[in-house]
Structure 1
């Protein structure tokens, strides 16, 4: 099973020529595909889907199909941390070891802010698990922590450069759990997803997930399509499962800059302000402007806040353009769709192209 480790996908490209987005052939209907939504003040909001959520049953992808959105999840982990920071249950400039005392020595020195911005220097936990043959097995939170603790040294001095880190966001999720006394899934449901009306959105931290409308994940290699799914249970760096319709709700909340309430009842700034305030270039990599689970990039003619994700047979991308008040999200259950290109077309008001990347 081939998986994307970085998950950011912001520079993903396509190597195969474009195809029509709305193909209606029987062959296309039985292939895995995507669901999508568009936020567009002039043309109106829209949603749709193509392809099969489950090839065996023929159930189609639509705006209510549930997908694993992989690293697009990181903005919600960041938001959970920021809710706790707003009522001073955590200090973003305090070291990790203050909240997870089992993380000792060098590993405990990065601050929460450095972890949020991928400048922590924390070592990767995914590659050792792959190297140990755990790719297709259940991996628990405890096993993941053990892998991290066996790597006593940081990759670089915290704050000195940008290096995308799933480990950092996994540990941020653990901080939320330690400080709040709730699982990240329960905390996020109570203080983020339910208040924002995202009733179809959840964090999966055990298997089987029990999600009725879940799309199966598929990989395409050498023209052959096969199931590609993961039973890893760690969250924070991924594991939000949601629908395109709920992602439209999220885009609308970014557009409205909707405030939230902390566990203690304090009202926060709006969600977009929380995730993007005080943005400055990342040290050592000025072309990267990654803040709290969102990155400032150009997509077509739009300056957007965006993030992508890839895990097992799922690919996703979301973007919000604050100046034009446009947004797009693309959620797929097949590995060869250039989700960034589809989102760019949606932002431009066109449902015109799929670009498929190398399988």
Structure 2
């Protein structure tokens, strides 16, 4: 929201509140006065436009028709709140997906991990310039001078662990069965870190997206505080934000109200229920809902989780290519407010795409997820999902955007290639 728009709305809001206060004070006197103001003189707040639910539902149906299994979404803005779902929770049972269903949200976890790191700085436990060796000597071998800031901004040069893990453990067996076995094995952070740190490092200071860095941050936080990451997350983020249906599970079991994950592998749609989220850990192991992620966005923007300075530090870009990426958060132009930005993250487990974007104050937010990821195609067609994202974001604008004109251009906020699931090993 621009400063001018904010100022105008603040003036209108202040005028309305002031008028109401004056009326409440003079009402007893005015009742006996011949010059009492007529009812028409009392300022009336404009009713927000309703959501175009038909357009949102049609966009959801389009996302499912794009060979996805289910889609869930939660939209909050000047028109209030809307939530919806399409498709089925599980192909075997045919149960319809519900808006409040849980799902694996992958790299959106990075936003929460970054909040933990910044909260630790606010509490004086460390600084963003603290090095890995300051907390866990030897964890990264000869690269122990890597800082927390570099890890959170993907500028440490630390390689991604997923490709070497998949290639090494698959060996000559590139079958779907072996791939699923690898995904189902429990992992310790040190194992993931070793796979990443053992690969060739890239130049320090360059942006190279790496899940390994966030796994390192998670491990450092555990050693720093003496607490399990899941417990720390619950105390510092989930409870304050009211994210009652979010967790960082340590096993593959899903609750009954969770979307079953599916992926297309070698032309066949396979069930990923055995996937163990410890493969992603602090980088992408979150189980959540669209409602809870929007609650996170609102709590972050409202200053419930971090001080304003820490939020600015999190959202201020460190890198500008391929996205304007800060610390566990990237930004993109806000279609509702020229010159302003949306902040958030996307992600992809091996079976689910997720996006979560919000205005800087967290009052307008969109979180959407679809299950059924195509792992056979390096650049799958996500045009219908992107169209849903754009439709939802534009509808948070209230009456500030001329919808038909805005919808005539390119997608407002495409799904980026900042995802967890690495390409599969070559198949034979």
TM-score, normalising length from structure 1?
Answer: 0.79
Q: 1:245 to 1:287 in 2, by over 3 A?
A: closer
Aligned twin of 1:239? 285
Post-superposition Cα deviations, 1:257-306, rounded to whole Å, max 9, x if no partner, equal 2323xxxxxxx415xx53333755435x4664211211111265552112
Aligned twin of 1:249? 295
Which structure's relative contact order is higher, taking Cα pairs within 8 Å and 6+ residues apart? 1
Post-superposition Cα deviations, 1:103-162, rounded to whole Å, max 9, x if no partner, equal 2543222110011111010122111111022743214114323424544x63212xx211
Q: 1:279 to 1:74 in 2, by over 3 A?
A: closer
**2:70 is aligned with 1:33:** yes
Aligned twin of 1:8? none
Post-superposition Cα deviations, 1:186-241, rounded to whole Å, max 9, x if no partner, equal 110122101211100001222335x2312111124687533245225141110111
Q: Secondary structure of 1:275's partner?
A: helix
Q: Could you tell me how far apart the structure 2 residues matched to 1:279 and 1:329 are?
A: 18
Post-superposition Cα deviations, 1:313-335, rounded to whole Å, max 9, x if no partner, equal 11100111237942101012122
Q: Could you tell me how far apart the structure 2 residues matched to 1:228 and 1:113 are?
A: 34
Higher strand share: 1
**Over alpha carbons, which structure has the higher Rg?**
2
Structure 2 residues not aligned, in runs of 5+: 1-56, 171-177, 375-381, 397-402, 417-428
Q: Could you tell me how far apart the structure 2 residues matched to 1:190 and 1:147 are?
A: 30
Q: Could you tell me how far apart the structure 1 residues matched to 2:270 and 2:315 are?
A: 41
**2:205 is aligned with 1:169:** no
Q: Could you tell me how far apart the structure 2 residues matched to 1:315 and 1:60 are?
A: 18
Q: Which runs of 4+ in 1 moved over 6 A?
A: 350-353
Q: Could you tell me how far apart the structure 2 residues matched to 1:49 and 1:118 are?
A: 34
Maintained 8 Å contact 2:132/2:140: no
**2:352 is aligned with 1:314:** yes
Q: Secondary structure of 2:136's partner?
A: coil
Q: How does 1:87-236 map to 2 (within 5 A)?
A: 87-131=123-167, 132-133=169-170, 135-136=179-180, 137=182, 138-141=185-188, 142-148=190-196, 150-151=198-199, 154-157=201-204, 160-209=205-254, 211-220=255-264, 225-228=269-272, 230-234=275-279, 235-236=281-282
**2:101 is aligned with 1:57:** no
Q: 1:83 to 1:278 in 2, by over 3 A?
A: closer
Report how many residues are paired: 320
Aligned twin of 2:332? 297
- Residue 69 of structure 1 deviates from its aligned partner by 0.5
TM-score, normalising length from structure 2?
Answer: 0.67
Comparing 232-241 and 334-343, the one that deviates more: 334-343
Maintained 8 Å contact 1:314/1:331: yes
What's the RMSD between the two structures over aligned residues? 3.2
Q: Could you tell me how far apart the structure 2 residues matched to 1:82 and 1:22 are?
A: 36
Q: Could you tell me how far apart the structure 2 residues matched to 1:334 and 1:356 are?
A: 15
Q: Secondary structure of 2:89's partner?
A: strand
Higher helix share: 2
Structure 1 residues not aligned, in runs of 5+: 1-18, 261-267
- Residue 23 of structure 1 deviates from its aligned partner by 3.7
Q: 1:167 to 1:221 in 2, by over 3 A?
A: closer
Q: Could you tell me how far apart the structure 2 residues matched to 1:127 and 1:167 are?
A: 11
Maintained 8 Å contact 1:318/1:343: no
Q: Could you tell me how far apart the structure 1 residues matched to 2:125 and 2:361 are?
A: 34
